Structures are given as C-alpha cells and as structure tokens.
Amino acid sequence: TIGVQSNPARPRTVSPMLDLAQVSEASGKLLTLLGEVLNYVEDVLSEKQQPDNFVGRALLDLIHSVPNMKHEEFAKMFNSNVRDLLMVVTLSQLIKTQLQLNEKLTSLTSFLS
C-alpha cells in the first residue's frame, strides 16, 4: 500500500494495481478499440458508411508502424519479458520477507534486553 496524504487528520492508503491487472485492463481497452475499428472497416466495405480519407490514412499509418516480425520472434521476446517481470516480483517478495524477519528479530532482541 502507498500512503496518501490528502488530509493530515485523515491519512489513507491506496493499494497499487498489480502489473498483470494493468496488462489485463490495457488489453481489454485495446480489444474494445480494435472492435470499433473492425466495425468501421466492415461498414465501409459493405457500403453502410461513407469512407473517411483521414481515418483511412490514419489506419494505414498505424498498420505500417507495427513492426513486422515472425511469430517465433514475438513469442521469444514476450517470454523473455515475462521471465524478467517474474524475477522482479520474486526478488521484491524476498526483500519484503527479509524486512519482516528483520523487524521481528529487532523487536525480539529489544524485548529480551
């Protein structure tokens, strides 16, 4: 949790969103936007809607901005990034555990003294 001081008399905490939850939320938004684009393109192709040159050029620029890579390259890159993320999560949990253990040992030694 992160301490947020909006009112000094009433401190509150906010839990940061987990990384995977952020990825999931962003993926959901992206899926919604892609659905809207697909509906627009289908409507233009079926002549239900007049084509807009500006939108067409923007879509073409978007398509050309996506790097062209093979599925295997993308999977390798993605898996590498996931492994890095898992390593960072594991290390942060290990540090948290060590800090908690240190707090308990410190309180125990001060109690025994």
Per-residue pLDDT at 2: 43
Q: Where are the domains of the chain?
A: 25-66, 69-113
Positive or negative CA dihedral for 95, 97, 92, 89?
positive
Average pLDDT over residues 63-91: 88
Per-residue pLDDT at 23: 80
The whole-model pTM stands at: 0.48
Per-residue pLDDT at 39: 94
Six token digits for residue 99: 């800090």
Q: Between these two residues, 16 and 73, which has the higher pLDDT value?
A: 73
